Amino acid sequence: MTIETWTIYDHPRDWPNHFVARRFEGETPTPEVLYSTDLDQLRMALLGRGLVPFARHQQDDPVIVETWL
C-alpha cells in the first residue's frame, strides 16, 4: 500500500508567483499539483479532501510550508 501525501511549497522556483501543493505517492512526486496565490485557499482545498496537516520538519527545505496526509 502506498501512502498519498501532499506537500505545500512557498513560491518554489518552478512556480515563483504561487503557493503550490504537490501530490506524492510514497516518496515519488506525481504530476498532480494545486496552486494559488492564497495559502489558505490551498489549505481549504486539501481540508476538503479529508486530509490533515503536519508541520514541516526542521530539516525540510525552507520552501516547504507543511505536508498533508
Q: What tens digit of pLDDT does each residue of 35-67 get?
A: 999 999 999 999 999 999 999 999 999 999 999
* Mean pLDDT computed over 13-39: 97
d(CA 4, CA 69): 7
d(CA 22, CA 33): 5
The confidence score (pLDDT) of residue 17 equals 97
Share of the chain above pLDDT 70, in %: 100
pTM: 0.94
The confidence score (pLDDT) of residue 2 equals 87
Read off the C-alpha cell for 32: 498532480
